[in-house]
Structure 1
Amino acid sequence: MKLNKILLSFILLCSFSFLQAADIQPLRSPDGKIKVTIRQTDKLYYSVDYNDQNILWYSPLSLTVDNQRLGFRDQVVSQLTRSNSSVIKPYWWFRSEIPDDYNELELVFEGKYSIIFRAYNDGIAYRWKTAFRGNVKVQDEEVEYRFPKNYLLISHQVGDFQTSYEKNYTKAPIQSLKEADFTSIPVIVDEENLKVAVTEADLYDYPGMYLTHFDNASGRPFLTGLFPRYPEKVKKGGHGNFNLRVTRRADYMAQTDGTREFPWRVLIVAPEDKDLAANDIVYRLARKAQFDASWVKPGKVSWEWWNDWNLEGVNFQAGINMDTYKYYIDFAARHHIDYVLMDEGWSDQFDILLPKPGIDVPELVQYGRKRGVKILLWTVWHTIDRQMNEALALFEKWGVAGVKVDFIDRDDQVAVNFYERLAAEAAKHHLLVDYHGCSKPTGLERTYPNVLNFESVRGNEYNKFTSPDTPEHNVDITYIRMLAGPMDYTPGAMRNAAKGQFFTSYSMPMSYGTRCQQLGMYICYFAPLQMLCDAPTEYEKYPDILKFLSEVPVTWDETIPLDGKLGEYVVLARRKGNTWYIGALNNWTERTIRIDLSFISEGQHQAQMFVDGKNADRRGDDYMVISQRVNNSTPLEITLKPGGGTAIRIE
């Protein structure tokens, strides 16, 4: 026993000596609060501290390419450092200027590869970079997050690599996550005094990452990366045979160019919950725009599928027909709504060159053009993939503005390549893209600014046919899902249920929570193609709401997170030009929020406030509109009813 202790001490001493011998310099964020320490022993490890608090214990990383494990004992031949302080000016975003300040360390290894670490003030990221000849196969990537304690994990468990990211979030200790019920990303770890989020950025020609917890001998709370293997065989399946279900996978993850940069592994650090609601590190890490996108026009969309083409008081039979589409176009024109989406049903689902009998898309495009309204068309993903060249050329000839592509439900390498290939080809035809039934964004919207939105969320559509989206869920996705990028939740329900009063109706759907929560979503949820999910005749009953929906922007010049707590409530301020908007969403607990207006300019301003009515806890559709003068020295106090919200416009 004594000999074993001596031997163990010797091994630890040798490991420590080698650890010190590597002598890799630490990396700090520009403000000095985040520190990344990198060590090389049997392989590479890194740890992360925030304000001298360890938030990530030494975690291993490696990449296996053509059966060679990168990061294993290869010598570091050089350490390259650089600092960046610049401003990104996006074509569209929730900021017109994005500060891009970071420090970077690149470790160059013998063997033609390197690893790059970046430290921002709000997080860190690393990625592999290779310079191999020809194509290579990636067998594995070792990604591990070793947390110091068994913290609460807020995650989106899927249990299948064929997923559309449309589930509720669960909250449980890290070690309760089972390998069979792994989770998509982003996830949030609730550490002491701060939140830590894990996601990825600049994903291309490579599968998306998931996380699981392996029970290991140490019994520690480790999260480990999982990746879908390359799909070798697929068959049609799922709802309406709209999916291509993978029936056989290869023994490797990706076959790709040997000279490339791999996806960023991102760790976001938020001292306050509210900081998560306006974080855009994923956008900063993405590749720059691939083309001049000055022609891309974000906007609001009148949408017919959610409300089941239900119009009242009209003199024609509502449905998938020319009269109904023209009514939607006329409605959009009257209220300055940019687009009308023709969803499922306008064409044969498996031949988008074949419109439904009686539907004349070119005529509708011309009808809309005369009224300043553009047309978007829905498609099944494997249909447009098969007919891409013909379909996109035809849509451009017709004058269509863009496509909504649905039911991908995968992010293996084949699916990820489809996202980018469609974005690139659509841009050649000046077509916008909205992805539904898709994986989370990773910055593709920066690289291809014609990609305006992604679903990848349990949105309002679920209120049509299953258990409803709860107000707590609607709060959570502001903090978690939106870390990844734009989110097509499709808000705007005008039938609103107080707690305990919800019922499912496919043709007359409602939301769970108050009407003002639905209005608050137009400010809190960032969606450059923002839907009006309910019927025109529903909105026209409420001229004050319709005026607000006509005017509220979809992109912004400035965003300030004001207040909030994950799972409870969120308060965001956004500016467009000289006008400020403030949105808030609440869970089922009534609360009064105090909004500090010090961010607005001096002097008197006119505020229009949509607030929960006095009886909104009993009738979800009860709301009030209050107009009053405000200034930057007097806070606003707003009562949010259970499941409530608010939408405020300040001139």
Structure 2
Amino acid sequence: MNLLLLLFASLLRKILFFALMFFSFSFVAAQKKVDLISPNNKLKLTVNVNNDISWSVSLNNAKVIEDCTILMEMGEGRSLGKDAKIKSKKTKSYNKTITVQIPNKDKVVNSNYNELMLDFKQQFKVVFRAYDDGVAYRFVDLNKSSKQVNSEGMSLTFPVGSKTYFPKEDSMYSHNERVYLYDKVEELNAGEFCSLPVMFQTNAAKVLFTEASLHNYPGMFLEKSKSASSFTSKFPKYVLEAIPNIEFEPDRNQIISKKASYIAKVDGEREYPWRVFIISDDDRSFVESNLVTELSGDSKLEGEDWIKPGKVAWDWYNANNVYGVDFEAGINTETYKYYIDFASRNNIEYVILDEGWTKSTTEILDDNDVIDVPYLIEYAKSKNVGVILWVLWKPLYESPDKILKTYSSWGAKGIKVDFMQRSDQFMVESYEKIAEIAAKYKLIVDYHGAFKPAGIERVWPNILNYEGVKGTENNKWSKDITPEHNVTIPFIRMVAGPMDYTPGSMRNVNKQDFTKKEDAYGIFFSRPMSYGTRAHQVAMYVIYEAPLQMLCESPTIYYKEQETVDFISKIPTIWDETVVLFASVADYIVLARRKGDSWYVGAMTDWSSREFKVPLDFLEKGNYKAKIFKDGINAIRNAEDYKVEEKVVTQASTLLLKLSSGGGYSAILTKE
């Protein structure tokens, strides 16, 4: 009997042992594959942890990202992702409300998402989020001894047959101002790379890739790999030495003479940037998305009432080309008084003194002999106009506190910082340091020669705009700025944040001369023209997001086009609400934005003429006065032809929009 009991006990122990082994194996196996679903149940992100960490995404059960393998290699020989072992996982749903300090799209953002946090035994985490309009992930290093990042790997594979709107770069030393090359992914050559944002088009949906919460870390580029449908991450190395480029404008251009083997220095544990994928089968979603805002940090400023968005009378595009005056035009006191007077008469908040006002481009604490900047700032103040001062990044960053304190003592309201051209860690950190010092002296900031917005502007909301876009200034030396380009950038570059495209050209031309059927465009550096109609340019003030928005044309020309200026001056530069009505990437866009009780409708098209019927059911009850700026009946013959009309509308009304080739449409709807 005792023997039987012993045998039974032994058998029971073996059964229990194998059962525990089975359940342990099942638990570990379950850990290796985890699904994360978006709140609306349309997006599914599947994470796999085996020898590496990878994930894929489906929209409505159709793959839009086949595979994305991620990895960070640290300087201490640590690998975050290779042979990773999950210690724990946590999923949670969030529904937050974000109030945006300087709202270039929506003042209040409802942030609803599901989050998966994977905690690994190797002292790091990977956080995944699924939103209704996209997914994102970031690494979090928990090791207090980390000193550097050697590389951050991301291998991204799309379904076969995918296409891309590819902002191809020639170098990572770049202004990030590119046209978007539309091509099949497999047609790109291995080694070709682009800046961000970049858009991909699969059979099921489009994917916009960019980054957010970029702080003290290099910006990412994306490089075509040898595999037909795959890309890999690419980063500038940490810069050890940069010297002036003696052969080409050494005051602003550099040669990176020494680089480290790593991409970033770090000091222990930290969070890394979010990798952001906006995904939709509806092109309207990309313009409406607030995902970069949602994934960026909170403001570090205690009081922000001094930050004043607005419009700017800008000099450089028109080469200070004023005429019909009794003084010699140029970079001098009288010319800028003319700009200030124009701004004051038209309720334009700012004037920029662009390149040329300083003693030299590297001696930026003093003005030159023909211009009295402190006097001009006082004169502008008496006219209720603020002055923004242009500076090169390099001399500014040599002594930023002293320089910005001086500008503030003169009464300047902001700075326009130009020619950064780099995305390495040192440069990214400098954006924040300059913004922080500028905030101390209550100065707004406009970054030119810059990378795209990636969350720094949320933390330092005195950064009102970035360039990083191929904009109007290119009219001075190229024919690249076409209506097709103009209706591409809202879906790609503008998704990252505000863009200083600098609209407002009054010298408008069609694709071809109406009679000779020849190219109507001529390149003139000091008197540039723009492709597309006058109404196309005006619509940019509604469609393009820019809390600091330029008027690029000469005040002399604007005085001759006062009706156009009167319309533009009534359009805000920040918004409470945005609704996209019709949209197709690189073809057309129609949207409505609200500021207070008023609504603003904007529409732009490529070289194809189009018609849209726009129901005004987004309005509140009651009558609205509609002031409309649209293509004239003869805009196809003369791109400067337009018509302004007024009517009364209600939420039951429908606007009929007739857009000429390269045309546009704007309406200001004011509640009566």
Q: What TM-score bracket applies, with the shorter chain setting the length?
A: over 0.9
Distance 1:206 1:83 in 2: 29
> What does the per-residue CA deviation read over 1:221-246, in whole Å, with 9 as the maximum and x for residues that have no partner?
11211111111221223446412231
Residue of structure 2 in register with 1:586 after alignment: 605
Distance 2:211 2:97 in 1: 22
Residue of structure 1 in register with 2:330 after alignment: 319
Structure 1 residue matching 2:657: 3-state secondary structure: strand
> What does the per-residue CA deviation read over 1:432-472, in whole Å, with 9 as the maximum and x for residues that have no partner?
11000011110111110000000001100010112240110
Residue of structure 2 in register with 1:408 after alignment: 420
Contact kept? 2:124, 2:141, Cα under 8 Å: yes
Identity, in percent, stands at: 39
Distance 1:132 1:341 in 2: 47
State which drifts further: 551-560 or 185-194.
Answer: 185-194
Alignment: residue pair count: 633
Could you tell me how far 1:312 is from its partner in structure 2?
A: 2.0
Could you tell me how far 1:248 is from its partner in structure 2?
A: 2.8
State which drifts further: 535-544 or 314-323.
Answer: 535-544
Could you tell me how far 1:427 is from its partner in structure 2?
A: 0.9
Please report the RMSD computed on the Cα atoms of aligned residues, expressed in angstroms.
1.6
Could you tell me how far 1:334 is from its partner in structure 2?
A: 1.1
> What does the per-residue CA deviation read over 1:339-377, in whole Å, with 9 as the maximum and x for residues that have no partner?
100000000111111211132221111111111111000
Residue of structure 1 in register with 2:62 after alignment: 53
Opposite residue 304 of structure 1, the aligned amino acid is D
1:62 matches 2:105:
no
Could you tell me how far 1:21 is from its partner in structure 2?
A: 4.5
Distance 1:334 1:468 in 2: 33
Contact kept? 2:64, 2:205, Cα under 8 Å: no
Residue of structure 2 in register with 1:12 after alignment: none
Structure 2 residue matching 1:325: 3-state secondary structure: helix
Residue of structure 1 in register with 2:307 after alignment: 296
Structure 2 residue matching 1:232: 3-state secondary structure: strand
1:377 matches 2:377:
no
Residue of structure 2 in register with 1:222 after alignment: 230
1:466 matches 2:475:
no
Alignment of 1:635-650 (within 5 A): 635-650=654-669
Could you tell me how far 1:95 is from its partner in structure 2?
A: 1.1
Residue of structure 2 in register with 1:396 after alignment: 408
Distance 2:501 2:32 in 1: 48
Distance 1:512 1:240, change over 3 A: farther
Structure 1 residue matching 2:430: 3-state secondary structure: helix
Contact kept? 1:155, 1:185, Cα under 8 Å: no
Distance 2:47 2:554 in 1: 56
Distance 1:199 1:397 in 2: 38
> What does the per-residue CA deviation read over 1:149-168, in whole Å, with 9 as the maximum and x for residues that have no partner?
23011110002111111121
Contact kept? 1:19, 1:41, Cα under 8 Å: no
Contact kept? 1:91, 1:294, Cα under 8 Å: no
Contact kept? 1:333, 1:372, Cα under 8 Å: yes
Distance 2:249 2:113 in 1: 45
Determine which structure has more spread, i.e. the larger CA radius of gyration: 2
1:546 matches 2:565:
yes
2:273 alignment partner, one of 247, 258, 263:
263
1:514 matches 2:533:
yes
Distance 1:206 1:256 in 2: 9
2:642 alignment partner, one of 616, 619, 623:
623
Distance 2:583 2:465 in 1: 25
Contact kept? 2:50, 2:84, Cα under 8 Å: no
Distance 1:135 1:68 in 2: 9
1:427 alignment partner, one of 439, 459, 463:
439
Contact kept? 1:301, 1:337, Cα under 8 Å: yes
Alignment of 1:123-272 (within 5 A): 123-216=134-227, 220-237=228-245, 238-239=248-249, 241-272=251-282
1:350 alignment partner, one of 362, 366, 381:
362
Distance 2:480 2:83 in 1: 52
Distance 1:57 1:603 in 2: 50
Could you tell me how far 1:277 is from its partner in structure 2?
A: 1.5
Could you tell me how far 1:24 is from its partner in structure 2?
A: 4.5
Residue of structure 1 in register with 2:31 after alignment: 22
> What does the per-residue CA deviation read over 1:157-203, in whole Å, with 9 as the maximum and x for residues that have no partner?
00211111112110111122224421111111112242111111111
2:549 alignment partner, one of 496, 518, 530:
530
Could you tell me how far 1:509 is from its partner in structure 2?
A: 1.0
Distance 2:59 2:582 in 1: 22
Structure 2 residue matching 1:446: 3-state secondary structure: helix
Distance 1:18 1:407, change over 3 A: farther
Contact kept? 2:214, 2:454, Cα under 8 Å: yes
Opposite residue 522 of structure 1, the aligned amino acid is Y
Residue of structure 1 in register with 2:7 after alignment: none
Opposite residue 172 of structure 1, the aligned amino acid is D
1:567 alignment partner, one of 566, 575, 586:
586
Distance 1:25 1:214, change over 3 A: closer
Distance 1:606 1:327 in 2: 34
Contact kept? 2:475, 2:523, Cα under 8 Å: yes
State which drifts further: 287-296 or 557-566.
Answer: 287-296
1:37 alignment partner, one of 33, 46, 66:
46
Structure 1 residue matching 2:196: 3-state secondary structure: strand
Contact kept? 1:159, 1:180, Cα under 8 Å: no
Contact kept? 1:201, 1:443, Cα under 8 Å: yes
Contact kept? 1:81, 1:106, Cα under 8 Å: yes
Structure 2 residue matching 1:228: 3-state secondary structure: coil
Q: Return the TM-score normalized by structure 1.
A: 0.95
> What does the per-residue CA deviation read over 1:117-137, in whole Å, with 9 as the maximum and x for residues that have no partner?
111111010000012224511
Opposite residue 572 of structure 2, the aligned amino acid is P
Opposite residue 57 of structure 1, the aligned amino acid is E
Structure 1 residue matching 2:497: 3-state secondary structure: coil
Contact kept? 1:475, 1:585, Cα under 8 Å: yes
Could you tell me how far 1:406 is from its partner in structure 2?
A: 0.5
Distance 1:361 1:585, change over 3 A: same
Distance 1:179 1:419, change over 3 A: farther
Opposite residue 380 of structure 2, the aligned amino acid is G
Distance 1:38 1:394 in 2: 53
Contact kept? 1:177, 1:212, Cα under 8 Å: no
Distance 1:589 1:17 in 2: 59
Distance 1:394 1:49 in 2: 54
Distance 1:272 1:520 in 2: 22
Structure 2 residue matching 1:396: 3-state secondary structure: helix
Structure 2 residue matching 1:354: 3-state secondary structure: coil
Could you tell me how far 1:274 is from its partner in structure 2?
A: 1.7
> What does the per-residue CA deviation read over 1:576-632, in whole Å, with 9 as the maximum and x for residues that have no partner?
111111111111011112212111123332211111111212211111112122222
Structure 1 residue matching 2:651: 3-state secondary structure: coil
Structure 2 residue matching 1:38: 3-state secondary structure: strand
Distance 1:152 1:74, change over 3 A: closer
Contact kept? 1:274, 1:563, Cα under 8 Å: yes
Opposite residue 454 of structure 1, the aligned amino acid is Y
Residue of structure 2 in register with 1:89 after alignment: 99
Structure 2 residue matching 1:547: 3-state secondary structure: helix
Contact kept? 2:56, 2:67, Cα under 8 Å: yes
> What does the per-residue CA deviation read over 1:93-149, in whole Å, with 9 as the maximum and x for residues that have no partner?
121101111111111111221111111111010000012224511111111221122
1:275 matches 2:285:
yes
1:505 matches 2:505:
no
Residue of structure 2 in register with 1:444 after alignment: 456
Structure 2 residue matching 1:116: 3-state secondary structure: strand
Could you tell me how far 1:87 is from its partner in structure 2?
A: 1.0
Distance 2:638 2:250 in 1: 37
Opposite residue 275 of structure 2, the aligned amino acid is R
